[in-house]
Amino acid sequence: MSVLSQTPDPSVPAPSRWHLFCVVVDNFGDIGVCWRLARQLAAEHGIAVRLWVDDLKSTRRLIPALDPAASRQFIDGVEIRQWGDPLSSVDPGEVVIAAFACSLPESFLEAMARRTPRPVWVNLEYLSAEEWVSGCHRMPSPHPRLPLTQHFFFPGLEANTGGLIREADYAARRAVFSPQAFWDALDLAPPEPEELRVSLFSYENAGLPELFDAWSRSVSRVTCLVPEGRILPGVAAEFGVSGLRAGDRLIRDSLTVRILPFVEQACYDELLWSCDLNFVRGEDSFVRAQWAEKPFVWHIYAQQEGAHLEKLEAFLACYRAGLDPEVARALTDFWLAWNRGEGIGEAWPAFLAALPALFSHAKRWSAKLQEVDDLASQLVQFCKVALE
Catalytic annotation, residues? 30, 283
* Alpha carbons 7 and 246: distance in angstroms, whole number: 49
Separation between Cα atoms, residue 245 and residue 234, nearest integer Å: 13
B/e letters for 166-182, b = 16+ CB within 10 Å, e = fewer, are bbeebeeeeeeeeeeeb
How many angstroms separate the CA atoms of 331 and 354, rounded? 8
Q: Specify the amino acid at residue 175.
A: A
Q: Can you tell me the distance from the alpha carbon of 90 to that of 23, in angstroms, rounded to the nearest whole number?
A: 18
Reduce the DSSP state of residue 225 to 3 states and report it.
strand
Contact yes or no for 12/388 (Cβ under 8 A): yes
SS3 135: helix
Neighbour order of strands in the sheet with 196-200: 249-252, 255-260, 222-227, 196-200, 277-281, 296-299
CA dihedral in degrees (372, 383, 127, 92; nearest 10)? 150
Q: Which amino acid is at 200?
A: L
Give, in order, the Cα–Cα distances in Å from 299 to each of 50, 51, 337: 31, 28, 10
* Cα dihedral 343, 128, 264, 302 sign: negative
Alpha-carbon gap, residue 22 to 33, rounded angstroms: 10
Task: Give CA–CA dist 297/202, Å, rounded.
Answer: 10
What's the one-letter identity of residue 102?
C
